[in-house]
Amino acid sequence: HKTFTRSEKTPNRTQLIKDYVMDGGSFLMVGGYMSFTGIDAKTRYGMTEVKDILPVKCLDVDDRAEHPEGIVPTVVKEHEAIKGLPAQWPHFLGYNKTLPIEAGEVLVEIGGDPLVAVGTFGKGKSAVFTSDCAPHWGPPEFINWEYYDELWKGILNYSTAN
């Protein structure tokens, strides 16, 4: 926050993240109020260099898709990142709405939008999970899901494999 509070130059962290992935690193973005475009469009990762390594496109407006009634994801593509997970997933209470892109593979949809997507960028890989990994959009039914650990292991193993 040196730039904001003291008007000092600092490295562009979003450029460093992009460079890291392009050089063979991996990146996972998980949803929430301050992720993707975020609440009141405050976060705006789609307007930073991170957009170039995301397997989805961020919206230009507040992207929160609230579903207090609960919304159930749908597996739309078999992939090593979600191998062994059942077709039936627990419900969520919301997510960050994003759009699919050609460079990404949408594996799981929620409300017709990407929930889990992966992609290769340069020498690296990235993945997104567009809802919370914990409350508030991730209810106890998700947090306590018997496949919760397997979900994250699969996504992380895919993202870090060469």
Q: Against a cut of 0.85, is the pTM above it?
A: yes
- Check whether 5 has a pLDDT greater than 70: yes
What is the average pLDDT across 113-138?
Answer: 97
Distance of alpha carbon 153 from alpha carbon 155, whole angstroms = 6
pLDDT of residue 123: 97
Per-residue confidence (pLDDT) for residue 2, from 0 to 100: 66
The token duo for 43 is 């976060």
What does the CA dihedral 127, 151, 160, 75 come to, rounded to 10 degrees? -50
Q: Please tell me the distance from the alpha carbon of residue 142 to that of residue 52, in angstroms, as a whole number.
A: 30
pLDDT at 6 over 90: no
Q: Is the pLDDT of residue 84 over 80?
A: yes
pLDDT above 90 covers what percent of the chain?
90
Secondary element (H or E) of residue 42: none
Instruction: Name which of 142, 136, 116, 144 is nearest 66 in CA terms.
Output: 136
